[in-house]
Each structure stands twice: as structure tokens, then as C-alpha cells.
Copies of this chain bind each other. A is one copy, B any other.
Amino acid sequence: MKLMTGTIIENSRVTDEVFKIRLRMAQPFEFSPGQFINIKVSEWDAPLLRRPISISRRMDARTIELLVKEQGAGTRQMRFFKTGTPVDFIGPLGRGFNISGFKKEAPLLILGGGIGTAPLKGLSRDLANRGYTRVYVVNGFKDHPYGKEDFECYEYVEIDESKENRFVTDHVSASLNETDFQGVFACGPTPMLKRVREIFKDRGISVQLSLEEKMACGVGACLGCAVKIKTGPFDHAYKKVCVDGPVFEASEVIFE
């Protein structure tokens, strides 16, 4: 976790709403998949707060890629970030996916929804690099799927919800033998995450969900990004998405 500067070397359109930004740092930049950075989007403090964006994947030792969806003022400003200009960010932040402890040949499942597919790109590559050979990826999009080419995996399924009338989790239940999987990694809208947790409940496997919450500091100081997490059979506490997460074990997450 450091205050850093990266130079924008690319900012290009992926779909109508989604764009990708490549940032090059002066020094090698270490991170693990699922971590994010907290970006200052406006020199003029409009908006005031930084915006958390996952590191989608690594391009080289000094270069990372972000995938951003335009939502409001902050992401709209990012859309207009100019190539060659510097960006001030804090990172890498948070605890990413935990990919230790799986057998190399164990079937692993990655589930993404929309812009939630961003950090999963890097995850799929990391898993591949570490020799995991049976990684299944299922990504769902409301419309206009994107990003397939950036994943590295055993099987890649893409769902265009506008055409197929089914969700990522429907595909899992219908077409995959879910009992096989030794680990599940998911990032996407909350309803999707809820259903992922349902499907794999009580299987005794690691189901890791990447959560989102509004952030102010991004570093653990403000307690703004609280999510309810089980801390015991009858206990729970508010944990911070920014430092305790964004990735949490599904069994611990309390959706309200």
C-alpha cells in the first residue's frame, strides 16, 4: 500500500460503457489478483473521493490493466483520462483471492458478472501460471460480452443475458457438475454472489466472493466500507472491504 503515480499508456473503448486503461509505473509493481487501487480521478476534487478499481491484470512488471465501467462522475472522468498523463493512486489494496491449498489438477470455477469479470482475468492467468490445469470460467453479461480473449483457462463460457435468458449461476447448475469443484471464485453483482453462495453451500470448499462497498479512504482508516461478516457461530462484525476484503469466504458473508 503506497501512494503511487502511473502513466496512462492506453485508454480505449471496450463497449459503449466499458473501457480499459493501461497504467505504467516507474518501478515494478507487485499485486495479487483481486486486489484493487484507489484512484484520484479529478485534479479539481470533483468528485472529491478516490474511486476503487480492481487491477484487472498485469501486462508486464511495470504495467497493469484496469477495466472500468462508466457509472457516474468518477468513472466518467476516467473515461477521459488522456494517454501520457499521470494518475495518482493508492495501491495495491486489500486482500485478493486466496489460491493456495488447491491441488494442481483440482477443478476450479471462476464466475464473473459484467464489470465484475475485471479482476478475474488476472486471476485466471495467475492460476494458469501456477499450473492449475482445470480452471472453468463462466462470465455473464447483460449485453455485449467482452474480455474472453484475456482469460486463460480450461473452459470458457460466455453468457449474453440479453439473448440467452439465463444467468451464470443457471449455467453452473444446469451444465456443470458442481460437486466436482474444489474452489470457486466469484465477482459480480450482489444477487449473483448470493446465488453462488447458495449453490455451493455446505460443500466444504472455498468459495471466495469479491464484494463491493462505497469507500472513502480505501486504506482502513475511515470504517466506511463495512460489510457484515460472521465471526463465530452466533457472532458477526463489520469488516472493511478495503483491507479485510474485498475477497471474503462466502460462508462468512452476511447479505442483508
A235 surroundings in chain B (CB, below 8 A): none
Q: Is A42 an interface residue, CB under 8 A from the partner? A: yes
Q: Interface size for chain A: under 10, 10 to 19, 20 to 34, or 35 or more residues?
A: under 10
Binding site for B on A (CB under 8 A): 42, 44-47, 73, 77
A77 to B, closest residue via Cβ = B44
Copies of this chain in the oligomer:
2
A77 surroundings in chain B (CB, below 8 A): 44
A44 surroundings in chain B (CB, below 8 A): 42, 44, 46-47, 73, 77
Shortest Cβ-Cβ A-B pairs, 4 listed: A46-B46, A44-B46, A45-B46, A44-B44
A73 to B77, CA, bound (A): 18
A46 surroundings in chain B (CB, below 8 A): 42, 44-46
A42 surroundings in chain B (CB, below 8 A): 44, 46
A73 surroundings in chain B (CB, below 8 A): 44
Q: Which of A45, A46, A47, A73 has the most CB of B within 10 A?
A: A46
7 further interface pairs, Cβ-Cβ under 8 Å (given A44-B47, A44-B77): A42-B44, A42-B46, A44-B44, A44-B46, A44-B73, A45-B46, A46-B46
Q: Which of A42, A44, A45, A47 has the most CB of B within 10 A?
A: A44
A47 to B, closest residue via Cβ = B44
A41 to B, closest residue via Cβ = B44
A77 to B46, CA, bound (A): 13
Cβ distance A31 to chain B, nearest Cβ, rounded Å:
30
A80 to B, closest residue via Cβ = B43
| Selected A-B contacts with CB under 8 Å, 9 pairs | A42-B44, A42-B46, A44-B44, A44-B46, A44-B47, A44-B73, A44-B77, A45-B46, A46-B46
A44 to B73, CA, bound (A): 8
A42 to B73, CA, bound (A): 13
A47 surroundings in chain B (CB, below 8 A): 44
Cβ distance A82 to chain B, nearest Cβ, rounded Å:
9
Cβ distance A52 to chain B, nearest Cβ, rounded Å:
19
A42 to B, closest residue via Cβ = B44
A42 to B47, CA, bound (A): 12
A45 to B45, CA, bound (A): 10
A44 to B47, CA, bound (A): 8
A45 to B, closest residue via Cβ = B46
Cβ distance A91 to chain B, nearest Cβ, rounded Å:
24
Cβ distance A110 to chain B, nearest Cβ, rounded Å:
37
